[in-house]
Amino acid sequence: MFNKELGLMLYVDDVAAEKSFWSAAGFVIENEAEMMGFETFDMKSHADATTTITVYAKEFIAQVSPEVLDNVPSVLFETSDIAGLQECIAGLTDTCSPVNEQPFPNFNFACPSGIYFAVKGV
């Protein structure tokens, strides 16, 4: 049986740039480490979140597990303050869309590595 906790892995070009971006976006950075000479870290959207995203350098993944290198998740975050979060993210990247109302309040943005994420207002 699976546990209730969920972990995602994100493969990026520049781990330090990602850590700076996600930290500025309000994520909690945890478990910073080095593996085989490559920086890695865990992050959560909230201190009490049960989902952890572990960020790895693409170069590291190419060495240890090349068959999954091109796997990119489609991640949907939720927020009760969509306007405030969109304003925060728009201040960090020029890839942030405005809030769309259909089919529900939402926006999307890309992190420094160009991976897009969606945000849903709840």
User: Structural domains in the chain?
Assistant: 1-72 (3.10.180.10), 74-122 (3.10.180.10)
Q: What is the rounded average pLDDT for all residues in the chain?
A: 92
At 2, is the pLDDT very low, low, confident or very high (cuts 50, 70, 90)? low
Question: Each residue of 105-122: b (16+ CB within 10 Å) or e?
Answer: bbbebebbbebebebebe
The pLDDT tens digits of the residues spanning 63-78 come to 999 988 887 767 889 9
Task: Report pTM.
Answer: 0.85
Instruction: Name the percent of the chain lying above pLDDT 70.
Output: 97
Distance CA 39, CA 14 (A): 9
Q: Does residue 112 surpass a pLDDT of 70? A: yes
Please report, for residues 5, 11, 13, the alpha-carbon distance to residue 53 in angstroms, rounded to integers and kept in the order given.
Answer: 11, 10, 16
